[in-house]
C-alpha cells in the first residue's frame, strides 16, 4: 500500500497530535492526510450520523507544523443544524473526490478563524470542526461525543515506502495518481551522471524497490556531473557509486538495493523480475546483451545517451531517450548505439555536463511516468532527442 497508519513516532514528536490522541479523538493518517473519524453530525433527516474530517498534513520532517490553511474535507452527508438545515457558514464545495487510497471525500469546509485566518496547530483545527459538526448532534443525542476513545490500530509504518510521509502528493491532492508508480521493483544500470539523476527522481516515487547496478568507484570528475556534493574526505575514500548514492537516497526511500556489479551474461537473470529498467550505460557493447534479454523477458525499459562535442564557439550535441515496450520494439536496433567503447583510445572524449545529465534523466523519467499513466501521453513517442544548438525536442517512433 502507498499509505501508512499514523506513526507513533509522529504522534510522540507532535504535541498537537499527541493531545488529540490523549483526548481520545479517533485519528490516523493515510498518505499525507490526517483523518479524524467518528465525528457525530446531523443530516437533513435529523439523524445523528458519524463522519470523517480530512486535513492535509504539513510536516517538518516527522513533526507537524502549522496547517497551511483553514480548509478541511469531509466524508459523509452534508452536515446540518438540529433542525435539519445545512450549515451554510462552513460550506466551500461539494464533490466526491478520491484523495488517496481509502480516502474519498464528499464535501469541503471553510471555517476561517478570525482575525488570524489560520489555526495554530492540528488540535485547534480538528477541535473547531468537531465542535461545529457535533454541536447540533448533542441537541438530539446529549451523550454523543467526537471523542470515542477507539483503541489505536497498530502502526503499519514498516510497510511504508518512505522514511517520512509524502506530503507533497497530498498537498497537491495527487495521491491517487502517484500510486500508479507503485511498481514492485525497477533497476537503474549505471550510476554515472545521468543514472544518478534518474535515482534522484525515482527515489521520490512509490516504487517499492530500486535496484542499483554499478561496480565503479566515485571519483572527483563524477562529482561534477552528478547530483549532490560529496566532501573532499568522502572522495578520498573512493566509495563505490552504488554505496555512495544509496547512503544519500536511503535517508528518504526504504527500498534502495545495492548491487556492486555491472550486468553481463553471468548475472543478467537478475533483471528478469524487474517491472522496469533504466539503461544509463556508456558502453554500447554491454547494452546489446541487456537489450536482447529485456525484450526476451518482456520488460519495458528506457535507454539514455548523450553525444556532446566541442565546437568553435561552445559545446553542441544531442541528449537522447529511447523507450522500448512490448507494444513498440522494432525501432530499438536503429536508435540505440551498440558500438563498444574503445578503452585504448586515449584521445577519445566523453563530454558530460551536469545540466545535460539532469535533463537526460528528467526526459527518461517523464517517459517512464507516461508509460505507467502518471502523465497523460497523447503522442506515445518511443524515441526523442534534444538538440542543444537548435533548442529542439523531437518525438519519433510513435506507437500505433
In this structure, are strands 381-387 and 396-398 parallel, antiparallel, or unpaired? antiparallel
Question: What pLDDT sits at residue 154?
Answer: 44
How many whole angstroms separate alpha carbon 298 and alpha carbon 161?
26
Beta-bridge mates of residue 105: 97
Q: Which residues of the chain have pLDDT under 50?
A: 1-6, 154, 156-158
User: Residue 290: exposed, middle, or buried by beta-carbon count in 10 A (0-12, 13-18, 19+)?
Assistant: buried
Question: What pLDDT sits at residue 159?
Answer: 64
Q: Which grid coordinates belong to 181? A: 508508480
Q: How many helices (H) and strands (E) does the chain have?
A: 12, 15
Question: What pLDDT sits at residue 53?
Answer: 98
Q: Which grid coordinates belong to 310? A: 566541442
pLDDT tens, residue by residue, 188-222: 999 989 999 999 999 999 999 999 999 999 999 99
User: What are φ and ψ of residue 246, in 5° steps?
Assistant: -65, -35
Question: What pLDDT sits at residue 349?
Answer: 65
Nearest Cα to Cα of residue 400 among 370, 383, 380, 378: 380
Q: Within the chain, which residue ranges are assigned CATH 3.40.50.720?
A: 183-398
Nearest Cα to Cα of residue 302 among 335, 343, 345, 260: 335
How many whole angstroms separate alpha carbon 146 and alpha carbon 40?
6
**Residue pair 85/32 in contact by the 8 Å Cβ criterion:** no
How many whole angstroms separate alpha carbon 288 and alpha carbon 281?
11
How many whole angstroms separate alpha carbon 176 and alpha carbon 33?
13
Q: How far is CA 316 from the centre of its chain?
A: 33
Helix runs in 23-156, H state only:
122-140
**Residue pair 36/43 in contact by the 8 Å Cβ criterion:** no
Instruction: Name the superfamily (CATH) of residues 183-398.
Output: NAD(P)-binding Rossmann-like Domain (3.40.50.720)
Helix (H, G, I), strand (E, B) or coil at 158: helix
Question: What pLDDT sits at residue 342?
Answer: 55
pLDDT tens, residue by residue, 298-326: 999 999 999 999 998 999 999 999 999 99
How many whole angstroms separate alpha carbon 362 and alpha carbon 347?
30
248-267 core/surface letters (b: 16 or more CB in 10 A; e: else) = bbbeebbbbebbeebbeeee
In which residue are the cell numbers 525484450 written? Answer: 295
How many whole angstroms separate alpha carbon 282 and alpha carbon 190?
8
Helix (H, G, I), strand (E, B) or coil at 126: helix
How many whole angstroms separate alpha carbon 305 and alpha carbon 189?
13
Question: What pLDDT sits at residue 4?
Answer: 41
In which residue are the cell numbers 537516497 written? Answer: 249
Amino acid at each position: 500500500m502507498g499509505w501508512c497508519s499514523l506513526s507513533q513516532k509522529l504522534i510522540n514528536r507532535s504535541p498537537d497530535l499527541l493531545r488529540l490522541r490523549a483526548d481520545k479523538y479517533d485519528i490516523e493518517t493515510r498518505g499525507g492526510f490526517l483523518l479524524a473519524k467518528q465525528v457525530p453530525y446531523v443530516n437533513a433527516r435529523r439523524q445523528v450520523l458519524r463522519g470523517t474530517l480530512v486535513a492535509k498534513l504539513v510536516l517538518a520532517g516527522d513533526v507537524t507544523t502549522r496547517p497551511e490553511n483553514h480548509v478541511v474535507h469531509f466524508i459523509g452527508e452534508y452536515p446540518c443544524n438540529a433542525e435539519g438545515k445545512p450549515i451554510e457558514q462552513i460550506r466551500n464545495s461539494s464533490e466526491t473526490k478520491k484523495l488517496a487510497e481509502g480516502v474519498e471525500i464528499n464535501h469541503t469546509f471553510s471555517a476561517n478563524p478570525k482575525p488570524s485566518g489560520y489555526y495554530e496547530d492540528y488540535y485547534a483545527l480538528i477541535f473547531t470542526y468537531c465542535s461545529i459538526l457535533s454541536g447540533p448532534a448533542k441537541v438530539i443525542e446529549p451523550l454523543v461525543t467526537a471523542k470515542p476513545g477507539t483503541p489505536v490500530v497498530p502502526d503499519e509504518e514498516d510497510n511504508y515506502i518512505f522514511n517520512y510521509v509524502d506530503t507533497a502528493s497530498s498537498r497537491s491532492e495527487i495521491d491517487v495518481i502517484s500510486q500508479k508508480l507503485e511498481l514492485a521493483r525497477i533497476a537503474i544500470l549505471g550510476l554515472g551522471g545521468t543514472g544518478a539523476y534518474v535515482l534522484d527522481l525515482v527515489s521520490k516515487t512509490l516504487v517499492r524497490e530500486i535496484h542499483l547496478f554499478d561496480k565503479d568507484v566515485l571519483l572527483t570528475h563524477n562529482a561534477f556531473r552528478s547530483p549532490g556534493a560529496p566532501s573532499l574526505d568522502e572522495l578520498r575514500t573512493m566509495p563505490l557509486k552504488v554505496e555512495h548514492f544509496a547512503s544519500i537516497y536511503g535517508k528518504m526511500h526504504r527500498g534502495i538495493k545495492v548491487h556492486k556489479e555491472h550486468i553481463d551474461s553471468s548475472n543478467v537473470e537478475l533483471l528478469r523480475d524487474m517491472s522496469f529498467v533504466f539503461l544509463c550505460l556508456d558502453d554500447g557493447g554491454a547494452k546489446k546483451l541487456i537489450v536482447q534479454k529485456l525484450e526476451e523477458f518482456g520488460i519495458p525499459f528506457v535507454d539514455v545517451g548523450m553525444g556532446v562535442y566541442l565546437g568553435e564557439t561552445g559545446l553542441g550535441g544531442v541528449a537522447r531517450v529511447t523507450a522500448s515496450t512490448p507494444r513498440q520494439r522494432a525501432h530499438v536496433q536503429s536508435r540505440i548505439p551498440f558500438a563498444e567503447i574503445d578503452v585504448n583510445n586515449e584521445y577519445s572524449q566523453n563530454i558530460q555536463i551536469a545540466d545535460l545529465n539532469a535533463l537526460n534523466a528528467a526526459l527518461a523519467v517523464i517517459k517512464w511516468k507516461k508509460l505507467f499513466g502518471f502523465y497523460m501521453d497523447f503522442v506515445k513517442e518511443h524515441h526523442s532527442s534534444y538538440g542543444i544548438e537548435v533548442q529542439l525536442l523531437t518525438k519519433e517512433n510513435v506507437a500505433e
